[in-house]
Chain A
Amino acid sequence: MNKVIKIENGTKQGVLNFLEHLITTDKISGVLTLRKINEKGICDYGFISDAKELKFADPFAPVMPINAAQTLSSLTPTTKPIAAIIKPCELRGFVERVKRVQGSMKNVLLISYTCGGVLPLNTFQGDGSEKIIADYYNAISKGETPGSIRPTCKACEYFVPMMADITIPLLGNSESESECSLIMNSEFAIQISKEFQCEIITSELDSKIIDKVLAVRISEKEKLYNKTKVTKDGLDELVNIFGKCVGCHGCSRVCPICYCVMCDFESHNFDYNIEIFETELEQKGALRLPPDTVFFQIGRLAHMSFSCVGCGQCEDVCPANIPVATIFKKVGEATAGLFDYIPGKDLEEAIPVMIFKEEEFEEIGK
């Protein structure tokens, strides 16, 4: 059971009231949140420091213009406390980045919510989006899975935030139009909200709703893997799937885990000069051009799949419609699974390849 702040207002408005209080009483210097850019429903992430600007905030908008883990790590460490309302997978991405010393949790009030998934960018901003978004909210208030969300969202088991200071029940919350609960998970959250005038109760997330959604998500995941044919066929299939890749590297640019300023694959290490061409052609007789497009993905899988949070951003931005995220999620389960590792679950849990135990994998090298 946790301390819960109850606000007599719809969930969105209640959260904004709470943030307004934190900003005007100088508890935080501002908040990172999704906000509306204009009437057409287009959203971006913004950092709001003036409480008046909060009217544009749309913290629960079902869209991921970028994975907020990237922005949040560029905002931290901060000298003054800030707040951030982000989705559970963005929060996990942020934790993974902090583990890589690409940001800091210090002074950040992390607010997240039980997530119904996001719409693909084009759906959220496209024609008829108003109706789709209305249907979306309707479905998630009943704890259903909206048909319009990203494939990896439908298959996501981690829709309950981990490592959040404050959790907001949104998914399956039929009262979200009329009431707002903020579940306090940390001492930091309790301290910072001390002066906020409100009713305080003790409560927790409704486990019945969580279990119901989880069962659906797990069965959707199997369906997705089967459909994408990533279950067994191996490289022939991988070559086919990535055959359309244009080599733009957009998938790694938007990935919260791929933080390297200079990706090895964009360095001169992967330049093909005439000697390399000639040597490779001599060996093989033919060469895919541009070279290394599939190899790029194999490299990323080897380097970071165990930290993939399955956010689906890579898949959404891929101009060739390749199910990148589904593949990464699937392989990530296998690689992270070796160490019972759940990316972004716990800051104290080291990245699997950064630690070792003396007694493990003893069959290797035998």
Chain B
Amino acid sequence: MSDWQPKILAILCNWCSYAGADLAGVSRLQYPPNIRVVRIPCSGRVDPLFIMKAFQTGYDGVLVSGCHPGDCHYLSGNYFARRKFAVIKPLMEFIGLEPDRLQFSWVSAGEGERFSEVVTKVTKDIQKIGPITKMVKGV
């Protein structure tokens, strides 16, 4: 199992975090290759189902990242997102998924470095938790 690598879905908002990821790339910053990126217009667009579906499909972790509170391109999408995330946590606990499999971060377009740090941290955390087994087969 030592060569097991987690697969992490990264859902990034177009205006901040995706641009932050881009900057990390352009700046040739290193971060683990475990993430698969989906670009969305705004973190407020994330339906809790997207996250649950990712777990059901076998992703070991999900990272959702948007603009810092107050900086949303659509003014308040990330505040709504934050409320929805708050709802998902007790639900994950209830269904027996380790809450840390799901992580949120706010990364702005200028924070390439922060993006690489976030991905590194999330990857480490999920490596620690191990492969997802719940929610995969019987759900």
Q: State whether the Cβ of A254 lies closer than 8 Å to any Cβ in chain B.
A: no
B86 pairs with A331, CB closer than 8 A: no
The CA of A136 and the CA of B76, in the complex, are separated in Å by 51
- Which residues in A have their C-beta under 8 angstroms from that of B90? 331, 334-335, 338
Q: Knowing A234-B134, A302-B48, A358-B79, say if A295 contacts B139 (CB, 8 Å).
A: yes
The CA of A140 and the CA of B95, in the complex, are separated in Å by 37
Q: State whether the Cβ of A298 lies closer than 8 Å to any Cβ in chain B.
A: yes
A294 pairs with B94, CB closer than 8 A: no
* B95 contact from A283, A286, A298, A365, Cβ within 8 A: A298
The CA of A124 and the CA of B69, in the complex, are separated in Å by 53
B134 pairs with A302, CB closer than 8 A: no
Q: Knowing A331-B91, A361-B82, A361-B86, say if A288 contacts B106 (CB, 8 Å).
A: no
Residues of A323-362 whose CB lies within 8 A of B:
330-331, 334-335, 338-339, 352-353, 355-358, 360-361
How far, in Å, is A10 (CB) from chain B's closest CB?
45
The CA of A292 and the CA of B82, in the complex, are separated in Å by 26
The CA of A364 and the CA of B83, in the complex, are separated in Å by 10
Q: State whether the Cβ of B52 lies closer than 8 Å to any Cβ in chain A.
A: yes
Q: State whether the Cβ of B49 lies closer than 8 Å to any Cβ in chain A.
A: yes
Q: State whether the Cβ of A280 lies closer than 8 Å to any Cβ in chain B.
A: yes
- Which residues in A have their C-beta under 8 angstroms from that of B48? 299, 302-303
The CA of A90 and the CA of B106, in the complex, are separated in Å by 41
Q: Write the chain B residue with the least CB distance to A234.
A: B96
Q: Write the chain B residue with the least CB distance to A352.
A: B83
The CA of A352 and the CA of B76, in the complex, are separated in Å by 15
Residues of B67-97 whose CB lies within 8 A of A:
68-70, 76, 79-80, 82-88, 90-91, 93-97
- The total number of A-B Cβ pairs within 8 Å is 108
The CA of A365 and the CA of B68, in the complex, are separated in Å by 8
How far, in Å, is A152 (CB) from chain B's closest CB?
17
Residue picked from A230, A283, A286, A364, most chain B C-beta under 10 Å: A364
- Which residues in B have their C-beta under 8 angstroms from that of A335? 87, 90-91
- Which residues in A have their C-beta under 8 angstroms from that of B70? 358
A353 pairs with B84, CB closer than 8 A: yes
Q: Which of A109-117, A209-217, A236-244 contacts B (4 or more CB under 8 A)?
A: A236-244
Q: Knowing A288-B138, A353-B87, A365-B105, say if A302 contacts B82 (CB, 8 Å).
A: no
Residue picked from B48, B57, B87, B97, most chain A C-beta under 10 Å: B87
Q: State whether the Cβ of A39 lies closer than 8 Å to any Cβ in chain B.
A: no
Q: State whether the Cβ of B109 lies closer than 8 Å to any Cβ in chain A.
A: no
The CA of A339 and the CA of B89, in the complex, are separated in Å by 13
Q: State whether the Cβ of A233 lies closer than 8 Å to any Cβ in chain B.
A: yes
Chain A, interface size: which category?
Answer: 35 or more
Q: Write the chain B residue with the least CB distance to A298.
A: B52
- Which residues in B have their C-beta under 8 angstroms from that of A239? 138-139
Q: State whether the Cβ of B129 lies closer than 8 Å to any Cβ in chain A.
A: no
Q: Write the chain B residue with the least CB distance to A282.
A: B58
Q: Write the chain B residue with the least CB distance to A327.
A: B94
The CA of A353 and the CA of B105, in the complex, are separated in Å by 19
B58 pairs with A283, CB closer than 8 A: yes
B137 pairs with A235, CB closer than 8 A: no
B95 pairs with A235, CB closer than 8 A: yes
A283 pairs with B57, CB closer than 8 A: yes
A365 pairs with B138, CB closer than 8 A: no
Residues of B100-120 whose CB lies within 8 A of A:
104-106
Q: State whether the Cβ of B40 lies closer than 8 Å to any Cβ in chain A.
A: no
* B83 contact from A286, A303, A361, Cβ within 8 A: A361
B69 pairs with A358, CB closer than 8 A: yes
Q: State whether the Cβ of A75 lies closer than 8 Å to any Cβ in chain B.
A: no
- Which residues in A have their C-beta under 8 angstroms from that of B94? 230, 234, 238, 301, 330-331, 334
- Which residues in B have their C-beta under 8 angstroms from that of A236? 96, 134
The CA of A352 and the CA of B139, in the complex, are separated in Å by 27
Q: Knowing A283-B58, A288-B138, A299-B52, say if A305 contacts B83 (CB, 8 Å).
A: no
Q: State whether the Cβ of B136 lies closer than 8 Å to any Cβ in chain A.
A: yes
B residues adjacent to A (C-beta < 8 A): 48-49, 52-53, 56-58, 66, 68-70, 76, 79-80, 82-88, 90-91, 93-97, 104-106, 134-139
Given contacts A298-B91, A331-B94, A357-B79, 6 further A-B contacts (CB under 8 A): A234-B97, A294-B138, A298-B139, A299-B49, A301-B91, A360-B82
